[in-house]
Structure 1
Amino acid sequence: MTRKARGTAQTTAEAHEQVFPAIPPTDVLGRLAALQAAPIAALKQQWRELFGKEPPPFSRTYIQSRLAYRIQELAYGGLKPETVDRLVALGEQLDGGNVVLRRIRADSRPMAGTRLIREWQGVQHVVTVRINDFEFEGRPYQSLSAIARHITGTRWNGWTFFGLRVRGDA
């Protein structure tokens, strides 16, 4: 038994062309548990089978989480088209259609109000995450990289400087 793909990243024509294996609901828990121990090569192969395309060059954690969702989606069904449309509309309201803002607001961005603390050369620096920017020393900054540059005098990836991303993570 197979189920047709339905995803926001695919056009309607593509969704009708690709057919993915149905996953029996009784297999879901076992498959989710197996993701934890599977080597990355096996995860990438599952990605090809369940998404019908090459896996992205992202971290193991990202691939595992997307595979876990996809397994459940194929077993229990995905979001209703009305729900997807509503989420897209809400996203447009939030960021005004700005793709850059949408990407920044992805899961990795800390919630507004979060305080980031970094010690640099014996001095503690505190940054407050705000809805559209960051506050440091009472001034707004558009990026953590700008704050890291202000603190160190050199170019830094702000997410790495404040420990939100480890070097080499995607």
Structure 2
Amino acid sequence: MTMLGDDNLVCDVAAVEALEREDCIARWRRSFGKSPPKYISLRFLRRALAHEVQLRVHGGHAAGIKKALNAALIEGERKGNAAVRAASKRLVATRPGTHLVREWNGRTYRIEVLEQGFLFDGNIYGSLSGVAVRITGTRWSGPRFFGLAS
């Protein structure tokens, strides 16, 4: 695949965005020499492959940025990855359309994340803590109650 200009790049990225899961997996194997992680989403597969197309056209990061990113990675590993995992979990879990499920006192509760808050039992709450208080009757950290924080 040769790409001579931005028009070709746009076409190649658009083609990646239209790939089905099996095609994404095959392309991932060709690009990275191994299979993608087992439970990776189609959305992430497409984004990673589109990024790879862009890197091949425009090149990667400058040496200084690579050095800074590597230093941050080493520092994160040194401090432990728990904070990074927790932050990542919170970001994914609070994306609109996500459903959070929590069992409490033998009952299962399902909360939908909306742009403007959290939908629970037909009511919209401004925070997860408000939902947690409604469920338990006591004051809770919403992210902690729903397993998004330690």
TM-score range, shorter chain: 0.5 to 0.7
Which one of the candidate residues 49, 55, 62 is aligned to 1:67?
Answer: 49
Q: TM-score, normalised on structure 1?
A: 0.52
Q: Is the 8 A contact 1:23 1:71 kept in 2?
A: no
How well do the aligned residues superpose, as a CA RMSD in angstroms? 3.7
Moved more, 37-46 or 97-106: 97-106
Q: Does 1:49 align with 2:33?
A: no
Q: Secondary structure at the match of 1:54?
A: coil
Residue 125 of structure 1 and its aligned partner are, at CA, apart by 4.4
**Structure richer in helix, relative to its length:** 2
Residue 99 of structure 1 and its aligned partner are, at CA, apart by 1.1
Structure 1 residue aligned with 2:146: 145
Cα distance in structure 1, aligned partners of 2:60 and 2:37: 21
Cα distance in structure 2, aligned partners of 1:94 and 1:53: 26
Structure 1 residue aligned with 2:100: none
Where does 1:121-132 land on structure 2 (aligned, <5 Å)?
125-127=125-127
Structure 2 residue aligned with 1:119: 120
Q: Secondary structure at the match of 2:127?
A: strand
Which one of the candidate residues 2, 9, 14 is aligned to 1:33?
Answer: 14
Query: 1:61/1:145 Cα in 2 relative to 1: closer, same or farther (>3 Å)?
Result: same
Cα distance in structure 2, aligned partners of 1:126 and 1:48: 43
> Equivalent pairs: percent with the same residue?
17
| Structure 1 residue runs without a partner (length 5+) | 1-21, 130-134, 147-157, 159-170
| Structure 2 residue runs without a partner (length 5+) | 96-114, 134-138
CA-to-aligned-CA distance 1:8-51 (integer Å, 9 cap, x gap): xxxxxxxxxxxxxx853433221111123222211111111111
Structure 2 residue aligned with 1:86: 68
Q: Does 1:108 align with 2:89?
A: no
Q: Is the 8 A contact 2:132 2:140 kept in 1?
A: yes
Q: Does 1:98 align with 2:80?
A: yes
Q: TM-score, normalised on structure 2?
A: 0.58
Aligned length, in residue pairs? 119
Q: Secondary structure at the match of 2:79?
A: coil
